[in-house]
Amino acid sequence: SVSVFWFRRDLRLEDNAGLYHALKGEHPVLPLFIFDKEILDNLEDKDDKRLTFIHQEVERIKAKLEKEGSSLLVKYGKPADVWAEVLNEYDVKAVFTNRDYEPYAKERDATIGEYLSSEEIPFKTFKDQCIFEMDEVLKDDGDPYVVFTPYSRKWKEKLNVEKSDFYVKSYPVEKYADNYFQTKPLSLISLEDMGFEPVKMRFPSRTVDTETLEEYKENRDYPAVDGTSRLSIHLRFGTISIRQLARQTIGKSDTFLNELIWRDFYMMILHHFPKVVTENFHSKYDALNWRNNEKEFEAWCEGKTGYPIVDAGMRQLNETGYMHNRVRMITASFLTKHLLIDWRWGEAYFARKLLDYDLSANNGGWQWAASTGTDAQPYFRIFNPYSQQDKFDKQEAYIKKWVPEFGTGKYPEPIVEHKEARQRALDAFKSVMEN
Ligand code: FAD
């Protein structure tokens, strides 16, 4: 008989809450990963880089487990079908996993939880993805926060940075490594067998050095500088532990810690207000008259708007699956304000391209830029792409890197005139506010 630990967006053996609890239990632990057909069938690109990343990490975990005399059970299919198979193949006594707050994941876990309990198998879930989840940081009246600053204050109070490390303590999984289920190496399905093409690329490293943290505040806003951690893909897939990163950050950079709090904030918002996935957080904006011009959307996607900082960002995204945060804000503002294109279009494009795509942070970022979100940019504050460029890429190093034809006759004219577009956006937002 075995306990099963189900990996999802927590692809690591170190400091993993659910895995730790599984190993401390009475049954040997068989780790499982499912390539979920419900998710994979909806991916648009056969060469989606994220699949290569996930496959690589699954392989890495499997190899490590094999050093312990165990292995990783890897399945491909719809979770409900896979679980029926697993219960057939093994005498499963309990299932352990880490919680995920996206609507699809919550529904999936509710279904699997019910199925397991109909078989009298307990389904135990743990917090692992964030420092504080769901109802852990609430207003005094018990309502969820919808504004970031008071939320972050309460968050820090609860963490009690000075006195205790309770919430950021690591789970010493390695102490219980002799409780892995012993088995011969199990098989691993290839990407090709699931209909995907592996890509050759180097992913960002899973560590950040102290210098980057200490200089983060000064450097983070300049896209030509390597001044941010580049850990987003690892935080997305759990290939690093958020607790370990928070421990490393405390006392080194409040600004960086704040970004980790934004991450918790948007996960909390998604949990409490799942409607944000498809709707404006502030419904007064539902009446907004988006122009939604398809040609202009295409120009934005391809990085051919004639606004160098916007085009550089979109090309960085298209080529690498990454875009610097400052430029994410600029490109999102440009799409929703200058072009008056529905934020949902931009959000979907980012979701398709970003290696670090995360529903809560992406939706939060887009609704922030579009002014429709929780603690959003006020609608009348419209980024001027030229002054943003002046401030944050004065030497044009970032622009020249991604838009080599910039400054030559081949570079396109701006698709909209800044002043007119700005006024048009103000008028559109104002008319909604007045109604
Ligand atoms: P760093 O600056 O080193 O920050 C460290 C970590 O903090 C990041 O890895 C991330 O996990 C977290 N973080 C930083 N800023 C934010 C933020 N504003 N909201 C939530 N978490 C944050 N981030 C994603 O992880 N996935 C997304 O899909 C995503 N979409 C975005 C869309 C828009 C329109 C905008 C404006 C922002 C988006 N962000 C998203 C937030 C941010 O741009 C990225 O987290 C950051 O650029 C990743 O690079 P980094 O790891 O070097 O970040």
- pLDDT band at residue 161 using 50, 70 and 90 as cut-offs: low
Q: Do domains 130-169+207-272 and 276-434 have the same CATH topology?
A: no
- What are the pLDDT digits (tens) for 39-61? 999 999 999 999 999 999 999 99
245-267: average pLDDT: 96
The dihedrals phi and psi of 359, each to the nearest 5 degrees, come to -55, -45
Go through the chain and tell me how many residues it has.
435
Torsion over CA: 352, 281, 233, 81 (sign)? negative
Q: Whose CA is nearest to atom 20 of ligand 1?
A: 263
> What span, in angstroms and rounded, lies between the C-alpha atoms of 380 and 423?
10
> What span, in angstroms and rounded, lies between the C-alpha atoms of 268 and 81?
30
E strands, 88-194, are: 92-98, 123-126
Return the CA Rg of the chain: 23
Confirm whether 293 is a catalytic residue.
no
Residue 251, sorted as left (phi over 0), alpha (psi -120 to 50) or beta, turns out to be left
What percent of the chain is modeled with pLDDT above 90? 96
- pLDDT band at residue 164 using 50, 70 and 90 as cut-offs: confident
The dihedrals phi and psi of 252, each to the nearest 5 degrees, come to -100, -40
- pLDDT band at residue 180 using 50, 70 and 90 as cut-offs: very high
In the chain, where are the structural domains located?
Answer: 2-129, 130-169+207-272, 276-434
179-202: average pLDDT: 98
Q: Is residue 127 within 8 Å of 15, Cβ to Cβ? A: no
pLDDT at residue 376 in the model: 85
Q: Which of 155, 363, 322, 315 is nearest to 231 (CA)?
A: 322
Select which of 215, 290, 293, 318 is catalytic.
Answer: 290
What's the one-letter identity of residue 48? Answer: D
Select which of 6, 300, 345, 366 is catalytic.
Answer: 366
* Ligand 1 centroid – CA 245 distance (Å): 15
Q: Which of 422, 420, 381, 385 is nearest to 403 (CA)?
A: 385
- pLDDT band at residue 163 using 50, 70 and 90 as cut-offs: low
411-417: average pLDDT: 97
Residue with tokens 């937002």: 429
* Ligand 1 centroid – CA 130 distance (Å): 14
- What are the pLDDT digits (tens) for 356-399? 999 999 999 999 999 999 988 899 999 999 999 999 999 999 99
**pLDDT over 90 at 402, yes or no:** yes
* Ligand 1 centroid – CA 258 distance (Å): 11
Domain 276-434 class in CATH:
mainly alpha
Contacts of 61 (CB under 8 A, 6+ apart): 7, 11, 12, 13, 31, 33, 72
Mean pLDDT across the chain = 97
**pLDDT over 70 at 162, yes or no:** no
**pLDDT over 90 at 306, yes or no:** yes
CATH code for 2-129?
A: 3.40.50.620
- pLDDT band at residue 347 using 50, 70 and 90 as cut-offs: very high
- What are the pLDDT digits (tens) for 269-302? 999 999 999 999 999 999 999 999 999 999 999 9
CATH code for 130-169+207-272?
A: 1.25.40.80
112-129: average pLDDT: 98
Q: For helices 254-272 and 359-369, what crossing angle results, to 10°?
A: 100
